[in-house]
Structure 1
Amino acid sequence: MKKFLLAGAAIALIAGPAAAQDWQAQSYGNDGAAWWAVGADVDTFCKLNAAAPSINAYRSTATPGPNGQGGSAANNDGTLLLDIQEPATNTIQNASAFIVYANSQCNTTFTVTGNSLNGGLLNTETTTTDTDFVALVPYNVGVEFGAQNTGGAAAVGNFSLNWTPQQATAGDFRFSVDVPAANRLLLEGEYKDFLKVTMTPAA
């Protein structure tokens, strides 16, 4: 009997009338249109591809990986070893490298800047007062990305690559390092510099 009574109560609940909508309590707009502003914020994205760059070297060897000055294997930074010593005369011979980061991109107007620690290849191991020898060997830096191709001589600190602000660009980011031949004598020891080339969003 208890089961029957409970079932009967359930039927009565289901069959009861729905509560009436209170239409007088509603509020309405002036038209039948829904207007919404739709948008999305996109952050600045100026990056070189992390895939291994292609390297065209002349009298030089490029090795991707850590370099002791902020470079990393993950970003395919590296070390460039240039053979600048002319073996028959100990003068400066031409050496260069052309490095390409394929499928890079910057999604806003940008410029390109360079930064050199020494303003050239500097020998700090051997010194002399003889001016026939040179302790600082200059080199040139070239950059090509999108529609622009420009370059300049490495200089201490930030230096201009004569790069005017460019529109958002995607493609191959190419930069080169070139040591011109010169009638100057080289000192024994390591000549070195740390070079950073950066895509910088324009202010």
Structure 2
Amino acid sequence: MKDAVEIIAEQFRRLPGIGIKSARRLAYFMLERPQEDVDTFLNTIKEARAHSCYCSICGNLSTSDPCPICSDDSRDQHTLCVVEQPPDVQAMEKSQEYHGLYHVLHGALSPLDGIGPEQLRIKELLHRLESSQVKEVIIATDPDTEGEATAYYLSRLIKPSGIKVTRIARGLPAGGDIGYADSITLAGAVQNRKEI
């Protein structure tokens, strides 16, 4: 039988971005904590998981349905930002620049991985647009092949309805160095340039 460190490390490795060294370090850390700290940690995760759900309107992960964003009448009801995953909503909110509503697709088109329009919340998006006062859809999918394909697909579906479709700009990050940027990032920066 494997020792306790390896058993726990295997579980931590199931988390995104955790390699074997980090998993072992976390396993040792948890095994060295007082039992009450470990119990609190585990109970917190169990409680949070038991009280979490997906918003029936936008698809974001929340502790209420509808979520606080969809329930907030002070938000711009005319703008809808389409993102791939729930963490993308949090990232957009951190910017404090966007004050509209969201729609979470729960993925991006990837035919090679068997992810087509039916696996995403695209049908729900179109239904939502039919029965709302949305005048602009901002597509904020990732700037990778799947995200770009998803953005193009959505724009082709939405534009005939007369709703304005925009795409978030992309380019160099603040504090970035042009000499170290990849060609796709630089191309996006040039395409999305603006007058100063």
TM-score scaled by length of structure 1: 0.22
Task: Flag the structure with higher helix content.
Answer: 2
Query: Considering only CA atoms, is the larger Rg found in Structure 1 or Structure 2?
Result: 1
Task: Flag the structure with higher strand content.
Answer: 1
Higher relative contact order (CA 8 A, sep 6+): 1
TM-score scaled by length of structure 2: 0.22
